[in-house]
Amino acid sequence: AQSVDQPDAHVTLYEGASLELRCSYSYSAAPYLFWYVQYPGQSLQFLLKYITGDAVVKGTKGFEAEFRKSNSSFNLKKSPAHWSDSAKYFCALEGQGTGSKLSFGKGAKLTVSP
């Protein structure tokens, strides 16, 4: 079985601050991990992925994520945050040999105030 947990349903910060959205996963083998973003009224857009190799992966829109096997986490980071980053962010896991079927976390709604 595989699962993804995003413990912070709502995150609020001011523009210019550093943002970090937490994601933890449960999977018996090496996971493929993704972050997607959903802007209000829009569909999900790919931000970045971790397959193997470097623990820190960089994605679009200035985001990066750090994979930590030791505590099964894949946290999303950006500094500084901008008001346009306000959106809902989803962490997702793809199990090996499952094609591109994703298991999603519940998402984190990020609000960045000007």
Q: Using CB under 8 A as the criterion, what x/- string covers residues 83-112 for binding other proteins? A: -------x-x-x-xxxxxxxxxxxx-----
Residue 46 engages other proteins in binding (rule: CB under 8 A): yes
CB of 6 to other proteins, least distance (A): 8
Residue of 7, 26, 23 whose CA lies nearest to 91: 23
For residue 83, the SS3 value is helix
Nearer to other proteins, 49 or 82 (CB): 49
Stretch that binds other proteins, among 2-10, 15-23, 67-75, 76-84 (CB under 8 A): 2-10
Residues 6+ apart with CB under 8 A from 105: 4, 5, 6, 23, 90, 91, 92
Nearer to other proteins, 46 or 83 (CB): 46
Nearer to other proteins, 33 or 81 (CB): 33
Q: Where does 1-114 show beta strands of DSSP type E?
A: 3-5, 10-14, 19-21, 24-26, 32-38, 44-50, 56-58, 64-68, 73-78, 87-94, 103-104, 108-113
Per CB under 8 A, residues contacting other proteins are: 4, 6, 9, 32, 36, 42-46, 49, 51, 90, 92, 94, 96-107
